[in-house]
Structure 1
């Protein structure tokens, strides 16, 4: 595992994408306060996603015949990094571009590819992912939502929870049980494409401490789906979803959730004339951790570029990355409190408040810390 995480470089042809995407990102965030930009991958802006699609920045890794850029994972890394670095609103296209499209490309039928991939590349079609369920915690294999075969396809019943952007999405890719029981664990799980406007689907937003409602509960009450709603092979859902999670855990988004706060704080230190002492040392430590994690994330991208599925490596990046993201608001709050007479811009305080409120979720989304460390331990032969 550690050999595969060796230092890698982003190819020059992919680095060349930075100027153009930087212009679009800057345009989308011009005049937007830091506390709004800090919501970056919860920031839903369908018009901006369509603008990215028109410019060719969505579906970068997909074949051109489906509207994609037919480039490698490094191209997407550059685009994502530039968007997150300034807090551009990416939520609308995020899941479809990052996970749903590669999943459909790799496991879907040709009809599914032709139907779904071109509008994803245009930024016209939005997806969410149905994995978590009430009472299951991080035990994804205990799925109880069930799809039964019918004469015309599938009938779906059950519930999903913590589904990001379900109220704004067109479709969900749901992990469901098509045979056996929850005690059968990985056996009998399949993935279905669910039209969220179908009769019997109910979506209820969940408000968080910050007053946002990015998550939702989704209920399925005798939802009839066509036969071609199945992605891949029935009963192979566990294998497919693990390949999907490698895309979710390996990118730069597992490093930059607190980056807008970090930049706002550094700007505050510069304006306050803080050039040395504990605060300057803290900036250095965070910068060093960011640089190391970025190198590790690039190494994961290199594995994806070679056609590998870096499940263990991506878990390592995600675990260490979310630790950094959670450490930042605590340390920044302590630093500001250590100089109580120093004026602080209200925008910085609003940004700090927001990140401090949502930071506990960083080690939950995409797999809890405990689950990830179990994956890492197995990969190292320790369990």
Structure 2
């Protein structure tokens, strides 16, 4: 058996964690009300700071983080249940999403105690939002070619450079950035470090980038002689490559990598259920989606199980993310075919939702690492390169 698949053992959500589903679902139904599906289809790209703070009051941000920092200290299965419910209804979670998913765990693993005390409790309360500075202009997905540089001086670190495709930089309080602290881009992984940047500091310019759907999730961020304090460094100098790969594993391991198109899928399935006749072609498409989703969910649960056991399933997370991205991008194509196969005309809400997801879904295979990068990770993990 392939070693990756043999490592992904079937897992079930414990009853105490499954019990979280009902109160989360009730909260979401009450809070979101009649939000139209084309808005909910933004899924985890929808920004609503008030919603994030309301979620925090329920104790549902930092669900797996230690109680000493304000978290709930619960299992990865509890977080899986929470994320499934948030994604299924298209809750606008992006304000706190990155900080909860990867920045807080990164600081808990590599950061100083001062950094943890500064930020983690505020993340849990929905008071601090964090963006990630990885990609740079003209480097594509090649993170090792980072040119943004932090030079040590008598006040700490002097930062110059640019980041791009930084989600919600214009709405965030802090950035965790991968920068070069020694050497040159030709040195690749050597000399890379991570720094914590207060985005209110002088010398920082944030430029939102409008996408084809009219949203402005992504930003370009410019740093011009930004003075960082000495304690801005996260972890050890030069350990940035190791740290950023651990951070990306957090990013790739969640069920959001299979549910980005789920609001659209549910809208179409509702239309199919209500239709007086069920064309065989449409039923076949529904079965195809259900079958693929069931397998991907089982794989994602297996990754959650590994996280719960304290393991670091970086290879398995990359595999699920790659397969999940393929599924997410195919869903709107299948639904377009399913709408054509049905006898009754589709509702305006369904067509608006389909149009939005069709515009957005090319980005699914870019965020969290392109498919080429992920397949390189998988190939190395299998000993094929």
Give me the TM-score of the superposition, normalised by structure 2: 0.97
- Offset at 1:305? 1.2
1:22-46 CA distance string (max 9 Å, x none): 1222223210010000002111111
Unaligned runs of at least 5 residues, structure 1: none
1:364 and 2:377 equivalent?
no
Q: Which of 96, 103, 111 is 2:99 aligned to?
A: 96
Relative to structure 1, the CA distance from residue 90 to residue 274 in structure 2 (aligned partners, 3 Å threshold; closer, same or farther) is farther
Q: What is the CA deviation profile of residues 209-244 of structure 1, one whole-angstrom value per residue up to 9, with x for unaligned ones?
A: 000001000000000000111111110011011111
2:43 is the counterpart of 1:32? no
TM alignment of 1:260-299, pairs within 5 A: 260-299=263-302
Cα distance change, pair 337–182 in 1 and its aligned pair in 2 (3 A): same
Q: Distance in 1 between matches of 2:236 and 2:225?
A: 22
1:326-337 mapped onto 2 (5 Å cutoff):
326-337=329-340
Q: CA RMSD in A?
A: 1.0
Aligned pair count reads 382
Distance verdict in 2 for CA 1:286–1:267, change over 3 Å = same
**Do 1:4 and 1:303's aligned partners in 2 also have CA atoms closer than 8 Å?**
no
Q: Distance in 2 between matches of 1:69 and 1:338?
A: 47
- The partner residue of 1:349 within 351, 358, 366 is 351
**Distance across 2 between alignment mates of 1:320 and 1:2:** 13
Q: What are the within-5 Å matches in structure 2 for residues 304-323 of structure 1?
A: 304-323=307-326
Aligned residue for 2:353, secondary structure, equals helix
SS at match of 1:190: strand
Give how far 1:128 is off: 0.3
Q: Distance in 1 between matches of 2:18 and 2:89?
A: 17
Give the 3-state SS of the residue equivalent to 1:2 in structure 2: helix
Secondary structure of 2:221's counterpart equals strand
- Superposition map of 1:44-63 within 5 A: 44-63=47-66
Map of 1:51-200 to 2, 5 A cutoff? 51-200=54-203
Q: Aligned partners of 1:323 and 1:225: how far apart in 2?
A: 40
Aligned-pair CA distance for 1:276: 4.5
The aligned residue for residue 256 of structure 1 is: 259
SS of the residue aligned with 1:173?
strand
CA contact (8 A) 2:170 2:206 kept: yes
Matches for 1:236-255 after TM superposition, within 5 Å: 236-255=239-258
The list of structure 1 runs, each at least 4 consecutive aligned residues, that deviate by more than 6 angstroms after superposition, is: none
- Partner-residue secondary structure (3-state), 1:6: coil
Question: Could you say which residue in structure 2 is the equivalent of 1:380?
Answer: 382
SS at match of 2:206: strand
The alpha-carbon deviation at position 301 of structure 1 amounts to 0.8
Q: Residue 72 of structure 1: CA displacement?
A: 2.0
For residue 245 of structure 2, give the secondary structure of its aligned residue in structure 1.
Answer: helix
What's the CA shift string for 1:335-374, capped at 9, x where partnerless? Answer: 22345x6321111000000000011110011000011011
- Equivalent-residue separation in structure 2 for 1:84 and 1:331 (angstroms): 20
Q: Secondary structure at the match of 2:137?
A: coil
2:26 is aligned with 1:23: yes
What is the TM-score normalised by the length of structure 1?
A: 0.98
1: CA distance, partners of 2:27 / 2:233:
36
- Please list the CA deviations of residues 59-99 of structure 1 after superposition, one character each: whole Å capped at 9, or x if unmatched: 11111111011122222111111100110110110000000
The Cα shift of 1:55 comes to 0.9
Between 1:7-16 and 1:227-236, the stretch displaced more is: 7-16
Deviations, residues 194-220 of structure 1 (Å, cap 9, x unaligned): 111110000000000000001000000
Question: What secondary structure, in the 3-state scheme, does the structure 1 residue paired with 2:87 have?
Answer: helix
